[in-house]
Chain A
Amino acid sequence: MKKTFKIGGTHPKDSKLSSEISIETLPLSEKVYISMAQHLGAPATPVVAKGDKVLVGQVIGEPAGFISGYVHSSVSGTVADVVPMPDLAGNMVMHVAIDVEGDEWDPAIDRTDKIVTETSGTPEQLIAQIKAAGVVGMGGATFPTHVKLAPPKDKKAEYLILNGAECEPYVTADDRIMRELPKQIVIGARIMMRALSVEKCFIAIEENKPAAIDAMTKAAASFVGIEVLKMKKKYPQGGEKQLIDAITSRQVPSGALPIDTGCVVQNVATALAVYEAVQKNKPLFERVMTVTGDCLQNRKNFRVRIGTPLNDILAAVGGAPVEGNMKYISGGPMMGKAIVNLNATTQKGSSCLLMLTEKQTLRKSESNCIRCGKCAEACPMGLEPWLLNKLARVGGRYDDLEQNHIADCIECGCCLYTCPANIPLLDIIRINKAEVMKIIRARQAK
């Protein structure tokens, strides 16, 4: 039985062009720039200075608050500078620039391929190890994993859900790690189950990844309480709230957190990072990233060090695939963000570098709303995007927008994708949601 969420959803073409391409390690760059804001929450505080020598896996940034995280060096060499520069999204963020010299790892890291199955340690110890390794949610939201694994005292986790849905078109990074490193992922899940003290873990994978489902089912067979579920191919199946609904039929109440349904959702790539952190003592300084696009011949699933300039990745696949204007997206085409600057560098949440031609990304001219209601039909949160658009365009009607639940929007883009009048619904909702959230926060602060 294929499971799926109950409300809305769309079916974009999945375009998993790079699903049969094995993971390959990207050669080291000459210089990397490691962002201090790779996680949700407060940016890390740099703890190295210009001229310092660093090893691979050495701490270069320390958490600056409860929701924050450690940042490690992904290379060995000399710190060239600690300087603010634009990150992937174009925000000015403190970066540590390192001139790469050789590839010398922190000796504490277990670099062998041996799979370490046995787990030990109390939940507190495991969470401390995960925190020290700088593990964050690698599906894109980059919420610090150690915070998610330690829910407030009054909330009790019942299920761990591993998110391997990968419902974004084009992206195949999770597919590849599930095929190539299934045991490690399952052990990572086991560690998180221990940390959360839960007995049951579901691993959710969309039906368009049969090889990954097979590999994960085999790997999970030797563990008690871990079950692989085949999910219907429907966007946004991998949305945290949608996944919980699909698997447990529990809906996260409006304004509440997933833990209120007794579920903790973690990405499969995060599970892999947890395995490496706890079993191999290896901090999160590299990840698998898909480099793809219809226009690109030389598609790759690269193992990339954090802080690698996108220009170096582009050079590794033979440069820009077509002449003229291109659009580069970090992440998938539905929720990914357009990259402002190819000098920007990869982060812990960078799952994909997607290349689109000008023709693919041209927006058709907007016409009047014809009140077809397709946006409301597609919205997985049961919102009315047409109404939000209308209210937003009047200007200033934030109370009406709030009453129509704009804060519930998960920004999946289903409305924009289905709109026959080409109205930029998501853009308008996103801008106004940010305003409404500001107002809500200001009210709560009082």
Chain B
Amino acid sequence: MTDVLIALAPASLVSIYFYGLPVLLLLAVSAAACILFEFLIHKYLMGSKTEFNGLSAAVTGVLLALNLPPAAPWWIAVIGAFVAIAIAKMSFGGLGQNIFNPALVGRVFLLISFPVIMTTWSAPAGLFHNVDAFSGATPLSIINEGVKAGIPANEIIAAHNFTPLEMLFARTGGSVGEVSAIALLIGFIYLLVRRVIRPHITLSIWVTVAVMTGIFCLANPAQFSGPAFNLLTGGMLLGSIFMATDYVTSPMTAKGQIFFGVGIGVIAVLIRYFGSYPEGVSFAILIMNCVTPLLNRLKPVGFGRK
């Protein structure tokens, strides 16, 4: 779990650099609230005698904060933390027992309950600047609105200068953790090198998204954005690297993990293209979380067995 926190550090630091101290506050409040809720429930509600370890709650807290808009008020994080820990995790029996990714349940709860706050984006500014809460929109929402208004997707992308290079390095508007693709990829490489996760889930999401958006984009570039845009925007990287790979809520065997990743990719792209929400990664992961117990029935390759 410590390794996951280390892997999340680059994305968190880049975000603090671009959005300033409010993001630091969000991260701190969210992590602290998650640890506190888990501790209280673990000790007083469940009366567990086992030693309390807050690291997994801290990871949930950091992930939740990374999924919030940078200008979100701190109390949003507290509500999100309560839903994530108390409802999505501890009510299922605590560590290792939950079906859904707690941080994502928290985020989706907030998205539905506080739609205005949760979709008010700010443009990346810099450390010690006040966050300007009304100037930015995410590339995904720009495309979503634009296409609905009848402007071709490829023209919007060109007009806003959403080049892959631009999005790779930083400064895409969006949630706290989505600001820099490079920072997220550094975290991914760290997790792989430390053998914390295997690449199956993440890569199968990427391949699915790339293939699917590639086909749609080739068929109708005016309506559908392309692979690079879809891979680098929104919660795609954050979700595929850090949320979909959560041990507890993802399948255990390689086979299951590939199915899981493909499912997430397909659902996310469908929501982005045809849904009313501009972003679909959170929903896609939560939907596939339901399928995990089923995917765990896919057995590993047995030695000397057919």
Contact = CB atoms under 8 A, between A and B. Distances in A.
Interface of A: 7, 241, 245, 251-254, 256, 365, 367-373, 376-377, 379-384, 386, 405, 408, 421
5 contacts: A241-B304, A370-B56, A376-B253, A377-B300, A384-B300
A405 B305 contact: yes
A383 B252 CA distance: 12
Contacts of A373: 247, 251-253
A381 B303 contact: yes
A371 B248 contact: yes
A251 B94 CA distance: 41
Nearest to B93: A368
A135 to B, nearest CB: 28
A382 B300 contact: yes
B129 interface: no
A386 B303 contact: no
Interface in B71-98: 94-97
B53 interface: yes
B302 A408 contact: yes
Interface of B: 50-51, 53, 56, 94-97, 198, 247-248, 251-254, 299-305
B247 A371 contact: yes
Contacts of B53: 367
A384 B299 CA distance: 8
Contacts of A245: 303
Contacts of A368: 94-97
Contact of B304 (A256, A370, A384, A386): A256
Given A365-B50, A365-B51, A386-B252, A370 B303 contact: no
Shortest beta-carbon contacts, A-B, top 4 = A373-B252, A368-B96, A382-B302, A372-B247
Contacts of B251: 373
Given A252-B304, A254-B302, A371-B247, A376 B252 contact: yes
Contacts of A379: 300
A252 B299 CA distance: 19
A365 B248 CA distance: 19
Contact of A253 (B51, B247, B300, B304): B304
Given A368-B96, A377-B198, A421-B96, A382 B247 contact: no
A382 B301 contact: yes
B252 A371 contact: yes
A383 B302 contact: yes
Contacts of A370: 56, 95-96, 247-248
Contacts of B253: 373, 376, 384
B126 to A, nearest CB: 38
Contacts of A241: 303-304
B248 A381 contact: no
B304 A408 contact: yes
B292 to A, nearest CB: 9
Contacts of A421: 96
Nearest to B247: A372
Nearest to B251: A373
